[in-house]
Amino acid sequence: MGFKGEMYIWKDRKRFMGMPLSFTRYALSEDRLFLSVGFFSVRDEEILLYRIRDISSKRNLWQRIFGVGTVTVVSSDQSTPQVVLKNIKFPQDFKELLHKNVEECKMRRRMRYGEILNGAVGELDDTDNDLDDLDDLIDGA
């Protein structure tokens, strides 16, 4: 999963009864969220963090008993609009870690408010003003 030498901020795998007994692996780097599923035939997906639009978590009774939960990530990624990280340890902690890294990634890329709200991807050039763009967006609504 990922490139050799890739530094991961967080790694886990889908768990069964609280134990990591599956071939579904998850990882978070500074700028991407990775999902790898399979043993003989492996499917790898990744989402660039700046494309993440929403993060939610849930824990049913069984998940609470075994100390796991599910985090759902909604993105503007064309091939992977939604990723469900099932039965991971400390889901609330991971959700907060992911949120923090998504916001930092968007700040590093200097995402514009309108691009985030409209789901478009782009970077800010030095002549743009975020507040003017946001005012224009609100006035146009």
Indicate the pTM of the whole model.
0.71
Q: Bridge partners of 77?
A: none
CATH number at residue 40: 2.30.29.30
Buried b (16+ CB within 10 A) or exposed e, 7-36: eeebebbbbeeeeeeeebbbbbbeebbbbb
Pick from 1, 47, 26: nearest CA to 89: 26
Whether 39 is in a domain gets the answer yes
Q: Bridge partners of 13?
A: 25
Counting the structural domains of the chain, the total is 2
Pick from 59, 29, 24: nearest CA to 42: 24
One-letter amino acid at 101 equals: N
Q: Residues with Cβ < 8 Å from 18, sequence gap 6 or more?
A: 66, 67, 68
Tell me how far apart the alpha carbons of residues 128 and 116 are, in angstroms, rounded to a whole number. 15
Whether 94 is in a domain gets the answer yes
Verify that 78 and 116 share a domain, yes or no: no
Tokens 């400390």, residue?
90
Q: Are 15 and 89 in contact (CB under 8 A)?
A: yes
Whether 44 is in a domain gets the answer yes
Residue 90 has pLDDT above 90, yes or no: yes
Residue 108 has pLDDT above 70, yes or no: yes
pLDDT of residue 122: 45
pLDDT of residue 121: 46
Mind listing the pLDDT tens digit for each residue in 27-57?
Answer: 999 999 999 999 999 999 999 999 999 999 9
